[in-house]
Structures are given as structure tokens and as C-alpha cells.
Structure 1
Amino acid sequence: MKKMRVVMIGAFLTWGLAWGTVAHAADIDGQWARGDGNAKVTIAPCGSDICAVNTWIKPGTPKEKEGDKLVMSIKPDGEGVYSGSAFDPQRDLTYRITVTVKGNSMTTKGCIVAGLLCKGIDWTRID
């Protein structure tokens, strides 16, 4: 009986921690506009990952199109900060990524080549 109680408490704590991670990560979900005005994305769960899908691309923007997807395997790393990796299937590239969300603002920073080449992008949440 005591073993059963310990197992049930362990399962409950594991579920609670997982739920807390999912609930905390939800503030990244939604519609976002890129700071340069050239793109809008929807960020939402996709399986065990989080995907950013282009929903609008400014005409004439090279190398990007609606429907392009970035698959992020990220975890909370602090208040409003997520880190991990992102895979861009259109370019067959994997990035180390850090996402910082503060209210209706988000900054993404992706790095390749062992962190030697990095780029940051600012985003604004839209309705």
C-alpha cells in the first residue's frame, strides 16, 4: 500500500511538472509579426515540439513563402526565456535557438556553426 501511494504521488508530481511546463510555454503561442514588417507567423504546439508557420510574407521578400515552417524543440529556461534547437526543413538547417517573451514582445536568436553565426529578430504579438 505504501509503495502504491509513493508511485501515485510520483505520477501526480510528474504530471504537475509537465502541465506547468506546457502552461508556461503557452505564452509563446499565438500570432506574431516580424519587426521588419516582412512576415507574420503562427506559433503553436505541433506534436511534442512547437512550430512557427509563416502565415503571411510581404510580396517580393526573397527566400520565404507562406506555409514555411520552423520546428522548435525548446524548453523554458527562465521567466519568459526558452532555449533549445530549431529545424528549418526548407533550408535543411538546424539552429541553436533562444526565444525571449516579454508581454507582447518576443526576440528570437538563432545560431549556426557552433554559435559563431547568430541572428536576432524582434517580433510583436498581433490579434
Structure 2
Amino acid sequence: MTSRTGLLFALPLAALPCLAEASELTGVWARGDGKAQVRVDRCGDDLCATNIWVKPGTRHEKVGDKLVMDVEPVSQSRYEGKARDVRRGLTYSMEISLDGAAMRTRGCVLGKLICKSADWTSMN
């Protein structure tokens, strides 16, 4: 996963009546490649995914990098919306799929011409 999409997993929401439903997204998640862990929490009306651990030597990612998400449920286990990478100033379209303790995120730029996906495992 590249630095631009390092946090594209999860997460977060903006002032939605369904915000409570997003509670299944909150907590600590480990990225499938073993190079990062994020904590997803509410931050105001949104959800924020913040790097809490980055494997030493991982390029372009830092502890503290934050992704602010405005996503909403489109089905029982799927969320869609936008995510903003605070440090890089980039905005992505975001898709999140949940299956028990597993999560898959997909972030895209340029009208979905360039996309990256990541698999995550809940550490809760």
C-alpha cells in the first residue's frame, strides 16, 4: 500500500443519523501487510483513522498520520463516501466492507482511475 493510501481503510463519518451504526468501525485495526496499525475513533462528527504504529523503514508513512472519513452505510456491511488525508491534503472516494473481524478498504483518486485496496484485521 502506498503512502497516499496508507490509511485508506477506515474510516469515518460526518454528522449522519446513522453515525451510531459506524461503531463497528471503531477500534484498532492492523493492516494486512503488517506495516501499520490504526485507531479509528470519532473526531467531532466524523470518524478518524490515525496511524498508531508504523513498521520501521516503511516509506511515506508516519505515526500520527490521519484520515478523516465521511462515510455512510449503503448496506449492512458496506460503507461509502469520502476520506481526506490531512497531512497530504488529498481527498479520496472511499469504500469499506466489513466481514466480522475483517475489513477491506478501497480508496480512489482521479474519478476512480487510480485505486488502492487494503485488508485489515480487528485487534479489539
TM-score of the aligned structures, taking structure 1 as reference length? 0.83
The one-letter amino acid of 2:86's match is P
Q: 2:102 aligns with which of 90, 102, 105?
A: 105
Residue 80 (structure 1) aligns with: 77
Q: Distance in 2 between matches of 1:118 and 1:33?
A: 20
Helix, strand or coil at the partner of 1:24? helix
Whichever of the two has the greater Rg, that structure is: 1
Trace 1:9-48 onto structure 2 (pairs within 5 A).
18=17, 21-48=18-45
Helix, strand or coil at the partner of 1:114? coil
Tell which has more relative contact order, 1 or 2 (C-alpha 8 A, sep 6+): 2
Runs of 4+ residues deviating >2 angstroms: none
Helix, strand or coil at the partner of 2:23? helix
Shift of 1:84: 0.4
Q: Please give the root-mean-square deviation of Cα atoms over the aligned residues, in Å.
A: 1.1
TM-score of the aligned structures, taking structure 2 as reference length? 0.85
Q: Distance in 1 between matches of 2:42 and 2:119?
A: 21
Gaps of 5+ in 2: 1-15
Q: Distance in 1 between matches of 2:20 and 2:82?
A: 20
Gaps of 5+ in 1: 1-16
Shift of 1:89: 1.5
Matched residue pairs, number? 109
Helix, strand or coil at the partner of 2:19? helix
